[in-house]
Amino acid sequence: MGKQGVIIVAAGTGSRMGTAESKQYLKLGDKPVLVHTLQTFQQIEEIDSIVLVVGQADLERCRDYVDHYGVTKVKRIVTGGTERQHSVLRGLRAMPEAVEWVLVHDAVRPFVSRQDILRCLAKARETGAAVLAVPVKDTIKVVGADGAIESTPDRRSLWAIQTPQAFRLSALIQAHEQAAAAGFVGTDDAMLMERAGYSVHVVEGSYTNIKITTPEDMGWAEWFIQSGRGEMQS
């Protein structure tokens, strides 16, 4: 059975948080958001390797985090590119040779559960590619440039995509390299796999697997930690 690794993407800066510090380094409870995320994957026996992708200026502090918090599964820390997609490809190329299956996960999703991670990975091993997602709760409207509603998609077919996203490593590298050669930039890794002709399957996740992006998200995350619900779920 091929080994399983995860790329934690932490190279972004983000502007919607409105803080001088990048959101992945903000304190959540007693430690940075990024550390919560790293510890989640550190504690999963089925994960063999972690590659952390960070900004050039953050290399040293991330090395310190790994040492201080004992995140021994981090095999490499590499610098990211100008777009998230470029950062992921650098992470993919840094994966240890023995890794066959890879998860790609946002550093600012610290509340993903062990159960959902393993279900996503299992579906990828079964089908080749899988992503965590949740059904959309709200009615969605397609709106034109003039602000007028053009259509209302059937909500039953709409899902909000999360991370991790899981793939065969060799297939994801190929999809990334094809996109790079064509100058194509997608919004997530699943989009690149779809573009390369692969079928990507959805695994229903949890609404608590939020991406911390705005001050409101951070407030919710603090409450989640303080209530005791922010510990990794089995």
The predicted model scores a pTM of 0.93
What CA–CA distance (Å, rounded) separates 169 from 49? Answer: 13
Q: Is 80 in contact with 11 (CB distance < 8 Å)?
A: yes
Residues 87-134: tens digit of each pLDDT:
999 999 999 999 999 999 999 999 999 999 999 999 999 999 999 999
The identity of residue 217, as a single letter, is: D
Structure tokens at 97: 């040779």
234 pLDDT tier (thresholds 50, 70, 90):
very low
pLDDT at 50: 98
Residues 13-71: tens digit of each pLDDT:
665 555 667 899 999 999 999 999 999 999 999 999 999 999 999 999 999 999 999 99
Nearest CA to 116 out of 198, 223, 202, 218 is that of 202
pLDDT at 12: 77
CA distances from 45 to 100, 124, 127, 161, 193 (A): 16, 18, 22, 25, 27
Describe the crossing of helices 114-127 and 33-42 by its angle, rounded to 10 degrees.
Answer: 60
Question: How many residues are listed for the chain in this entry?
Answer: 234
What CA–CA distance (Å, rounded) separates 191 from 206? Answer: 21
pLDDT at 232: 46
| pLDDT higher than 60, residue 84 | yes
The three-class DSSP label of residue 176 is: helix
Residues 145-193: tens digit of each pLDDT:
999 999 999 998 999 999 999 999 999 999 999 999 999 999 999 999 9
Name the maximum alpha-carbon separation found in the chain.
Answer: 54
